[in-house]
Structure 1
Amino acid sequence: MYKLSIDAMSGDLGSAIVVEACEMFIKSHHDAELYVTGKKEELEKLSSYPHIHIVDARDIVKMDDGIMSVRRKKESSMVKAVMMAREGIVDGVVSCGSTGAFYTSAMLFLKRIEGVEKSCLMVMMPTYNGKGMAMLDVGANAENTAEQLYDFAIMGYIYAKNIRGIQQPRVALLNIGTESKKGDETHQKAYQLLQQSDRLHFVGNVEGRDILSGDYDVVVTDGFSGNIALKTCEGVAGTLMKMIKESMMSSFKGKLGALLAKSSLYSLKEKFDYKSVGGALMMGFEKAVVKAHGASDAKAFSNAMDLAYQMVKMDVVGQMKEGLSQK
């Protein structure tokens, strides 16, 4: 059985969506076992499932709590979920709580893979060719060294090759220009480390406007720049869809065109919908750690659980350990 701990209380929408997500997930994953942390009276509906265990947790790490709340709230659903991973009860943990608090709890209580100086957040981004691209770091660290960016590249490369099945993943470094001398000293040094590596298929720098082109399988960046790039892409996609909708609804011809193009528009919207992605992977820990979107509905949270399940089932952590030991 593949075992996951689930933080049911920390998201924007409360425990109800997590209960629904757990029901959706367990019905389609018969080889999984869930340990759901939260107020037992709110999780009672899950008690009828033999492979779901309710772990009572009376406290909550709220979205606006500072990261030091992790130390104070030892009885919170988030900390209890992470501690179950630390104690070896589960193989992975999922939460849609505060990114800072969840990352802090993982840093405090979980071991990092040997050789990993800094863990990072990785997300799958939609691309023009529909194949998607892994980008890391997207917000776990405010700044990174060149050596840390190289570690991120190794982790992203292993994930793309062994989990996504890409024979020779194309790795690029997010920068302000494509030339090798572009960027600050850290990015120039990172470029040299990546270029000299005989383990990576490094294709050079990539500018922000090209990251969704489909020409890259892994894009490496420091957490500050990566978070801005991620949220800019999300914002542009949302604004563009809103503009298209308003434009089409402004006239009879537009409404007719919208009706005819309805399926194509929904397909486009789905590509940029965080609910279909599930969540971000916290790479570099000895357990599978998945951060779901704070405003996840049941579908999005269930997809985040499936992401953690796939990481455990395909032994992503084991493959990371092997790959990083050879760097």
Structure 2
Amino acid sequence: MRIAVDAMGGDHAPRAIVEGIMLAQASYPDIEFQLYGKESEIRKYITSETNITIIHTDEKIESDDEPVRAIRRKKTASMVLAAKAVKEGQADAIFSAGNTGALLAAGLFIIGRIKNVERPGLMTTMPVMGQPDAGFDFIDMGANADNKPEHLLQYGILASYYAKNVRGIKQPRVALLNNGSEASKGSDLTKKTYELLSSDPNLNFIGNIEARELLTGAADVVVTDGFTGNAVLKATEGTALSLMSVLKKSILGAGWKGKLGALLLKDSLKQMKQELDYSSHGGAVLFGLKAPVIKTHGSTGPEAVKHTITQIKTMLDSQVIADLVTHFENEVEVEIKNK
């Protein structure tokens, strides 16, 4: 099992990335890690070279680079070389905390789409409040600003495969994000998508879901268009950060009584913070490509990197991408011919 790692991507690279790989290396001795980036910087944080290969390059893609242009012009950038390794069969998956748009472009133009998948979607597993081990798969988070109903149907299929094979849910409940629970509610896009999802016999479609229900565990898979998904994701992140900030200020502003209360509630507050942190489920998957392409937050730390490696290992062990290739290249091909 070989994972190509963009060691130079992210706000705290390469330190956070390499330290996270060291944590994962101790837990998964069967994984070969290929670290792409500046060798002298990477070596500062390597504590063991077992199953570690460093592929040196001085070039990297910056956070403010225009994605497609960067992929085409920076041909020896760490992210580009890692993607090419997957394309050429030298690695089984790619992981990066770098420029999201550039990673999407690398996935599309270098690794390539699964046949009959029109628009790959960006998916992450979000937390369910009060259930630390639970979550729901949210797709699309922003890979596509404009979508057709057929794209959202494919997102439902893609995320259901992930929920079954990676998260072990036998019959994932699939819901469509909308502004009301009734089938007649929503835009032209959501109404047509509702019809497609409800008519697919292979999906356990439970209908519409409102944004206020997302973190309650009402569904295992939530489908939406990329524009809406990205807005909802950032609103959720912002709310969580604001909540923790307000709570911290309230405790510090309450004098010794507040600090004493915080001490007594230390374990509960720690659990609350963990529940709000969706990075414990791993990174975001660009689903619909020929190999696992995984993105983590730019400010990710070593623990989150390890969680992401666990996620990639589970994906590779479960053969979820191979199953999707079979489904879309065979079953969907037959459906297209019969139309």
After TM superposition, the score normalised by the length of structure 2 is 0.92
Distance in 1 (alpha carbons) for counterparts of 2:161 and 2:13: 35
CA contact (8 A) 1:123 1:280 kept: yes
- Cα distance in 2 for partners of 1:146, 1:135 equals 16
Q: What is the distance in 2 between the residues matched to 1:112 and 1:160?
A: 20
- Structure 2 distance, partners of 1:278, 1:291, is 9
CA–CA distance in 2 between the matches of 1:93 and 1:166?
Answer: 25
Structure 2 match to 1:316: 320
For the residues of structure 2 that align with 1:219 and 1:323, how far apart are their CA atoms? 21
In 1, are the aligned partners of 2:181 and 2:210 still within 8 Å (CA)? yes
Please name the residue that 2:206 is paired with: 203
Whole-angstrom CA distance in 1 between matches of 2:160 and 2:331: 13
| Aligned residue pair count | 326
Instruction: Show the counterpart of 2:264.
Output: 260
Moved over 6 A (4+): none
SS of the residue 2:169 aligns to? coil
What whole-Å deviation, never above 9, does each CA across 1:22-51 have from its counterpart, x for those lacking one?
Answer: 211111111100111001111235495131
- 1:207 maps to a residue whose letter is E
- Is this contact kept in 1: 2:153–2:197, CA < 8 A? yes
Aligned-CA RMSD value = 1.5
Aligned AA for 1:109? I
Q: Which moved more, 1:280-289 or 1:302-311?
A: 302-311
How far apart in 2 are the matches of 1:78 and 1:263? Answer: 39
Q: Is the 8 A contact 1:290 1:307 kept in 2?
A: no
What residue number does 2:19 align with? 20
Partner residue, 1:49 = 49
- The question of whether the paired residues in 2 share the 8 Å contact of 1:136 and 1:156 is answered with yes
Distance 1:48 1:255 in 2: 41
Match runs of 1:3-152 below 5 Å: 3-45=2-44, 46=46, 49-67=49-67, 68-130=69-131, 131-152=134-155
TM-score for both structures, normalised by structure 1: 0.96
Shift in Å, 1:273: 1.7
* Aligned-pair CA distance for 1:323: 3.8
Structure 2 gaps of 5+ residues are: 333-339
* From 233, 237, 256, the counterpart of 1:234: 237
Q: What SS does the corresponding residue of 1:43 show, helix, strand or coil?
A: helix
- Mind listing any 5+ residue stretches in structure 1 that lack a counterpart? none
Q: Deviations over 1:127-186 (max 9, x none)?
A: 124211100000111011100100000011111122212121110001111111222211
